[in-house]
Amino acid sequence: MKTFKQFFYESKEYQVKETKSAPAGHYFTKSGNLVKGRLGKDERDRGATKSDPKDKQRSKVPPVSQVREGLWANINAKKKRGGKSASKGSKAYKAAKKAGDKLEATKESVANENFKDGKKKGKSRPGRVKRAGASCNGSVASLRKKAKNSGGEKGKMYHFCANMKSGKKKAKK
């Protein structure tokens, strides 16, 4: 019977694959070191690539030798060592603010949109009642009667108005 250690070392996750390209979320430096992090424009300018530059010299992917920290790691490190954040008039502050605003705008647009054509989720289109030719004036009973006599979208809107007017009373505690 195999021990856990033997079983683990024989598993697919542990076995190192042939080197051709860096694993997901990694890249190779110009010197051939494997770095965990995103391959950005600055790294590409310095000669970093997704494929191993020393591919012919080695048969296995090397272990990760460097870890590229992200933006928040840099911010938290600066706070930890007592550095001050950028002042409001500086270029760094303006650039960070612009990037943050752009990120918020994309989050909002993604949250609001539901379909490729930009329509919103559900039937929350303002002016549906008026467009259908219905009116929410009158009592709940009169609206129900109008809904019964009308068909299609107009009938739906009368039902909608009646339901909104009647509502449900909150349970007393």
Predicted confidence (pLDDT) at residue 79 exceeds the cutoff of 90: no
Residue 99 lies in a domain: no
Query: Structurally, how many domains does the chain consist of?
Result: 2
Residue 73 lies in a domain: yes
Residue 47 lies in a domain: yes
Ramachandran category for residue 157: left, alpha or beta (phi over 0 → left; psi -120 to 50 → alpha): alpha
Q: pLDDT of 43-72, one tens digit each?
A: 888 888 888 888 778 877 788 877 777 777
pTM more than 0.75: no
pLDDT at 123: 60
Decide which of 24, 59, 81 is a domain's last residue.
81
The residue type of 17 is K
* DSSP summary character for residue 60: B
Q: pLDDT of 88-121, one tens digit each?
A: 888 888 888 888 888 888 776 666 655 555 555 5
pLDDT at 143: 92
Residue 115 lies in a domain: no
pLDDT at 112: 60
Predicted confidence (pLDDT) at residue 124 exceeds the cutoff of 70: no
Q: Which domain holds residue 153?
A: 128-166
Residue 36 lies in a domain: yes
CB 55 within 8 A of CB 18: no
Task: Please count the other Cβ atoms lying within 10 Å of the Cβ belonging to residue 146.
Answer: 19
CB 59 within 8 A of CB 18: yes
Residue 33 lies in a domain: yes
